[in-house]
Amino acid sequence: IPHQVHGSKVVCLTSNTPEAFELAKAEAEAGADAIVCTVQNTPVMLAFADCVPVILVAPGGFAVAHSGWKGTIARISARATEALCQATGSTPSEVKAYIGPHIGSADYEVSPELIQMFSKEFGSGVVDRASGERYLDLGYAVRAALVDAGVRESAIEEVTDSTASTTERFFSYRAEHGKCGRHAAVAYMAAK
């Protein structure tokens, strides 16, 4: 589990040597929000409570990304896609993406400045105008970043339940005022 810093750093684990594990561990502990793994029988886990969990799968590897608003604006899901493709020799069109439960747009009121930044980066569709002018759709932004990176729209699956509206099922930092647990996204590639 990396020290998640709401950034855009991607750590890659592409060898099962002790040195490779130690290097990846040190990089993750220094601060990272995505891990690419091509090593079989090695689980990767990140923790969430409103931020967007993204699991990417390609032939020969996978990635898990933590996409808060800072990581989303920095396109961490696209960076993880690029790193995964580089590590596996795959193309983005071969990647499948799974977006886990996160805060929904109807529950995510943000500053006008943040709306402006996201609109400039991802277009006006990132704003949930049905809820008001200051409601941000992180799922939309992550999907847009993935598609821009070359992932086929039909290869993206998303859990659309909002963590903030369903605290009986998911943890929500915002809805629970910081007094909550975390849910995890775990990926693992079994040996054949």
Q: What is the 3-state secondary structure (H, E, C) of 139-161?
A: HHHHHHHHHHCCCCHHHEEECCC
Phi, psi for 108 (deg, rounded to 5): -120, 75
How confident is the model over 129-148, as a mean pLDDT?
A: 94
The domain tally of the chain equals 1
**Domain residues for 72?**
10-187
Q: Is 75 left (phi over 0), alpha (psi -120 to 50) or beta?
A: left
Q: Give a yes or no: residue 138 inside a domain.
A: yes
Q: What CA–CA distance (Å, rounded) separates 63 from 57?
A: 7
Q: Give a yes or no: residue 49 inside a domain.
A: yes
How confident is the model over 78-97, as a mean pLDDT?
A: 99
Q: What CA–CA distance (Å, rounded) separates 12 from 106?
A: 35
Q: What CA–CA distance (Å, rounded) separates 12 from 80?
A: 9
Q: 136 near 110, Cβ under 8 Å?
A: yes
Confidence at residue 131, expressed as pLDDT on a 0 to 100 scale: 81
Q: Give a yes or no: residue 1 inside a domain.
A: no
pLDDT tens string 105-131: 999 999 999 999 999 999 999 998 888
- What percent of the chain shows pLDDT beyond 90? 92
Q: What CA–CA distance (Å, rounded) separates 61 from 177?
A: 36
Q: Give a yes or no: residue 2 inside a domain.
A: no
Q: Give a yes or no: residue 3 inside a domain.
A: no
Element (H, E) at 117: helix 112-122
Q: What is the CATH number of the domain that holds 25?
A: 3.60.140.10
Q: Give a yes or no: residue 149 inside a domain.
A: yes
Q: Give a yes or no: residue 126 inside a domain.
A: yes
Confidence at residue 129, expressed as pLDDT on a 0 to 100 scale: 85
pTM score > 0.85 for this model? yes
Q: Give a yes or no: residue 99 inside a domain.
A: yes
- Residue 1 pLDDT greater than 80, yes or no: no
More confident residue, 2 or 141: 141
pLDDT tens string 6-62: 999 999 999 999 999 999 999 999 999 999 999 999 999 999 999 999 999 999 999
